[in-house]
Structure 1
Amino acid sequence: MGTEPDIILETRQLSKTFLGFTAVDSVDLKIQRGHIHALIGPNGAGKTTCFNLLTKFLEPSQGQIFFDGREITRDKPAEIARKGIIRSFQISAVFPQLTVLDNVRIALQRATGLSFHFWRSEASLRHLDGRAMELLAEVDLADFASQMTVNLPYGRKRALEIATTLAMEPSLMLLDEPTQGMGHEDVDRVTRLIKQVSAGRTILMVEHNMKVVSSIADRITVLARGAVLAEGDYAAVSNNPAVMEAYMGTTQGELEGIHA
């Protein structure tokens, strides 16, 4: 009962109903290995609910979820994470009063099964420094390793969250609105960062910023009222009349800049 070889995650008729309200409605989703796949849609389209179903913070009302060809519909959140599906906030809550390096070491410590042994001495954790610095370099934070995290600008903190997510060696990274609340400079930096760390990895992201989506997404799924409205590359999606209508009758030019 396997899925196509290049499909890392698949949903079939995935649905979630709350007291008679259907938040996610029969969603069929296929995420291709090695792609950046964006999930977009107007407010209330069901994007976050869909993310919560995939990471098992919510149980589906119906439908199935497959990862690497195996059904994971009834797996618990910890089992999902162990399989390699990592949602950034699951493990990347940064500790503001620790250094940038210490935050990544904690994430690496968790990966070794020792993450809650905070009594371990500094010296006993130094073997993690090399890998921690590699991850910081990957997100352009190597020069900030000794800084206290509380002093980092917001965009750099989001980069640190990505580094701690990478420390878990995810097969599939789920990024929930990674550029939300950022100024233009930070948006551009984090967009480049996501593209940079996507090499050899698969990313599924919810993102409201259409400029970000158009610049890095290989494939886009548009949700509206909980259902799949359209799917394809950015050119196909942005020219779809149903998508423009869903974004309140915008023209194509307005769609390109919309922050729904």
Structure 2
Amino acid sequence: MTDIILQTRELTKSFKGFTAVSNVDLRVERGTIHALIGPNGAGKTTCFNLLTKFLTPTAGTILFNGIDITGEKPAQIARRGVIRSFQISAVFPHMTVLENVRIGLQRKLGTAYQFWRSDRSLDVLNARCMALLEDVGLGDVANVLTVNLPYGQKRALEIATTLAMEPELMLLDEPTQGMGHEDVARVTELIKKVAAGRTILMVEHNMSVVSSIADKITVLQRGAILAEGPYEQVSKDPRVMEAYMGSVEAELQGAH
């Protein structure tokens, strides 16, 4: 029997007569990389916001490890081990790379707001911080101020701070957005690496990223599931091709 870590049943969100997410039945298998894709306005980010309770569902149920978490607050869901990349990692620009990761570890230890503690008392966390930074290829910039990092390294730091929270399920919201080709390749490899022994649900627009690392893909269109399966199957689905072509044509027409 398949081990399902996250499941939604008829998940729906309406805003004043507009339905952004409609009856979505999502099943994320433990230990996989599951991608949520779709043209602009398909409801991907709204779906993420519902899963982490930044938005309250209009209807439907969210189950994590078989437990109904639909009524829980964002902090409760984070404590269960559902961590969204930006949730704790809109990085602090004027702190060092190491200090950013240390804040993630402090949250995990429950000493989140003890900023008045002496630096020395936090030094016990430094070895774990360095191990996480080595994992994401940032060990050599541990003492650099975050504001001075290039964009790709900032995204790698976000992943490190997310890992500091020891997520059971990592939600990555467009992790390669705005990146150049080299950074995309680096972050894609990084996601593949940190996925070992974890479950990742990601919203991603870059199809080359999705095709290279996703075990399963759910395609949304107008808030509903259009297709689901491995990339080879989904990419050949005529409905998916039409949905993407339609959005491309609309963009092209808008440009004229």
Q: TM-score, normalised by structure 2?
A: 0.95
Per-residue Cα deviation, 1:175-206 (whole angstroms, up to 9, x for no partner): 00000000001111000000010000000000
Q: Which has the higher helix share?
A: 2
Whole-angstrom CA distance in 1 between matches of 2:212 and 2:46: 25
Instruction: Identify the match of residue 41 of structure 2 among 34, 39, 44.
Output: 44
User: For 2:87, what is the secondary structure of its paired residue?
Assistant: helix
**Which residue type is aligned with residue 211 of structure 1?**
S
Q: What displacement does 1:5 show?
A: 5.7
Contact 2:88–2:161, Cα closer than 8 Å, also in 1: yes
1:100-119 paired onto structure 2 within 5 Å: 100-119=97-116
Q: What displacement does 1:226 show?
A: 0.3
Find the counterpart in structure 2 of residue 21 from structure 1.
18
Q: What displacement does 1:169 show?
A: 0.4
Instruction: Identify the match of residue 77 of structure 1 among 74, 77, 85.
Output: 74
In structure 1, stretches of 5+ residues that fail to align are: 252-260
Instruction: Identify the match of residue 56 of structure 1 among 50, 53, 58.
Output: 53
Is 1:219 the counterpart of 2:213? The answer is no
> Identity over the aligned pairs, expressed in percent?
72
Q: What displacement does 1:107 show?
A: 1.0
Q: What displacement does 1:164 show?
A: 0.3
Matched length: 248
Q: TM-score, normalised by structure 1?
A: 0.93
Q: What displacement does 1:223 show?
A: 0.1
Contact 2:10–2:25, Cα closer than 8 Å, also in 1: yes
RMSD: 1.3
Per-residue Cα deviation, 1:45-99 (whole angstroms, up to 9, x for no partner): 0000000000001111111010001111111111110111000111112111111
Q: What displacement does 1:119 show?
A: 1.2
In structure 2, stretches of 5+ residues that fail to align are: 249-256
Whole-angstrom CA distance in 2 between matches of 1:5 and 1:30: 10
User: For 1:235, what is the secondary structure of its paired residue?
Assistant: helix
Find the counterpart in structure 1 of residue 195 from structure 2.
198
Per-residue Cα deviation, 1:139-183 (whole angstroms, up to 9, x for no partner): 111111111111111000000000000000000000000000000
User: For 1:248, what is the secondary structure of its paired residue?
Assistant: helix
Find the counterpart in structure 2 of residue 135 from structure 1.
132
